[in-house]
Amino acid sequence: MSSDKIEEIEKNANFRSEKKIVEFLNRMRPSLPQMGKDPSSDGDIKVFHTNNWIGARRDGKGGGHWTGDLPANEAGNYFRTLKNRLLQDGWEFTFEKTKILMLTNSVLAREQGYSGISDVFQYSDDYLKMQDKYIDFFVNILEPVSEHFSNKKYGEMLKAIGLRTPRLRNHDDKKVWNESLKRLIDSRNTGTIGDVIDCLVETQKPRLSAKIEESEEKFSQLKDLTEIEDESDKKFVSKIKKLKSVKYSEVIELAKYIDDKTPFSTNHGVKGAEFENVLVVCGRGWNKYNWSQFLGWVNDGIPVDKKEAFERNRNLFYVSCSRPKKRLAVLFTQELSDSALATLNKWFLPGNIFPM
């Protein structure tokens, strides 16, 4: 069958990335040759490293998985400096255009402004997948209610409240709700999580979930005791106190991330996706991934007993770097060995590698 409306799709064609990105991918993995759809396209690739930074890098204290990386505040400074540089180069850091890939949820929390919340929970699923009852209520009920009220979408607001939908019988009922929600918005913007909970306990607009009301009752009974004998009760009180001390603005930022309204993601969260621009931040934080070591092995040879680790690092690096259509930037906050830099020069070419 033939038709001028049917375009043949070659097996190795890459319909995502422009020329320079495809050429880099082929240098990295020649066994997986890619052919760009448009030979006249250009694209842009840049690698930035922090080897010139002078100071004590992180060591094994607090977890060897951070060894060789910049101190957290310095890593953040380098990231923001590069982001500003890329903005000047024409990048748009909106969630529709660009994706910023980072290895760990703790780094994402730091850069997006909800590290206080992440510090409360032992497991990231408690806040990212809203397995904690407080986070679930805030993200799925309180944030939509607040957003719809602020945008004067009162029908959507009542839908968000759901089973807690009030009966507004007269003008006075509407007035009470209006004043209560204005108080909520003020607490939400300026107060702590505890302030917001106190506001809702007082106004009941909207009412806290039954699970939170139960938790709050238990907390009120235990919080002022001079000695708590049960160890689980001690942990419970400590956790709720810590959560309530966090600024509620962190919930707002967390909700944006959960709703995919920010450009940030983990490296593992973008397989199969594509974006106009991708910034990959290569730091430590997970002992399964060591970028300098992996890149060094490419140049020096892979130890016999490290093949699995090599493939794990290579595959994630390849997936991350093959997401962009037009622009790829890679920032290494981890110090790179000479062998690692040699590999980057082979893959990205020397003219595309910049010290910061």
DSSP states of 96-144: TTEEEEES-HHHHHHHHT-HHHHHH-SSTHHHHS--SHHHHHIIIIIHH
For 62-106, the pLDDT digits (tens) are 667 899 999 999 999 999 999 999 999 999 999 999 999 999 999
pLDDT higher than 60, residue 6? no
Domain match, 277 and 164 both = no
CATH of the domain at 333: 3.40.50.300
What pLDDT is recorded for position 161? 87
Q: Are residues 104 and 17 part of one domain?
A: yes
pTM for this predicted structure: 0.88
pLDDT of residue 12: 56
Closest Cα to residue 234, out of 223, 245, 244, 243? 223
pLDDT, the chain, mean? 91
Q: 144 and 161 in contact (C-beta within 8 Å)?
A: no
The answer as to whether 31 is a domain residue is yes
Based on the domain organization, do 149 and 240 belong to the same domain? Answer: yes
Q: In the predicted model, is pLDDT for residue 36 greater than 80?
A: no
**Last-in-domain residue among 252, 272, 307:** 252
- Could you read off the pLDDT of 176-208 as tens digits, one per residue? 899 999 999 999 999 999 999 999 999 999 999
Of 26, 51, 24, the closest CA to residue 331 belongs to: 51
Cross-strand partners of 279: 100, 329
* Helix, strand, coil percentages for the chain (3-state, nearest 5): 55, 10, 35
Domain assignment present for residue 207? The answer is yes
Percent of the chain with pLDDT over 90: 78
Q: Is residue 8 part of a domain?
A: no
Characterise 62 by phi-psi region: left (phi > 0), alpha (psi -120 to 50), beta (else).
Answer: left
Residue 113 has pLDDT above 80, yes or no: yes
Residue 203: which domain range?
A: 130-252
Q: How far apart are CA 190 and CA 199, in angstroms?
A: 12
- pLDDT over 90 at 214, yes or no: yes
How many domains are there within the chain?
Answer: 2
Q: Which of 256, 270, 257, 334 is nearest to 99 (CA)?
A: 270
Query: To 10 degrees, the CA torsion angle through 179, 182, 184, 189?
Result: -160
Residues 143 and 97 in one domain: no
Query: Strand pairing of 264-266 and 98-102?
Result: parallel
Say whether pLDDT at 7 is over 60: no
Same domain (yes/no): 233, 308: no
Lowest mean pLDDT among 35-39, 95-99, 185-189, 352-356: 35-39
Report if residue 120 sits inside a domain. Answer: no
Q: How would residue 166 be classed by pLDDT, with cut points 50, 70 and 90? A: low
Domain assignment present for 123: no
160 and 240 belong to one structural domain: yes
Count of CB atoms situated within 10 Å of the CB of 247: 18
Domain boundary among 252, 279, 304: 252
Check whether 174 has a pLDDT greater than 90: no
58 class by beta-carbon count within 10 Å (0-12 exposed, 13-18 middle, 19+ buried): buried
Q: Both 163 and 201 in a single domain? A: yes
Last residue of a domain, one of 252, 286, 308: 252
- Which pLDDT tens digit goes with each residue over 255-299? 999 999 999 999 998 888 899 999 999 999 999 999 999 999 999
Residues 70 and 43 in one domain: yes
pLDDT of amino acid 2? 41
